[in-house]
Amino acid sequence: MKYRHAYHAGNFADVHKHVALVALLRALQRKDKGFLYVDTHAGRGRYALGAGFARESGEAQSGAVAVLAALRDSAGAPDELLDYAAVIEAWRRAADARHDYPGSPLIAAQLLRPQDHGVAIESQPAEFEALRKALGRASRVVAEHGDGYQRLRALLPPPSRRGLVLIDPPYEDTRGDFRAAILAVQHALARFEGCVIALWYPVKDARDTDRWLQELARGLPRPALAAELWVHPPDSRAGLNGSGLAVVNPPWLFADRCDIWQGALRPLLDPAGAGGTRVVSLVGESR
| Cα–Cα nearest to 187, from 132, 147, 244 | 147
Supply angle C-alpha 79, 85, 91, rounded to 5: 130
Q: CB–CB of 82/36 below 8 Å? A: no
Q: What's phi and psi for 134, nearest 5 deg?
A: -65, -35
Q: 277: how many CB neighbours lie within 10 A of its CB?
A: 19
Tell me the three state secondary structure of residue 171. coil
User: From CA 178, how far away is CA 187, in angstroms rounded?
Assistant: 14
Which are the catalytic amino acids? Answer: 168
| Cα–Cα nearest to 147, from 123, 167, 180 | 123
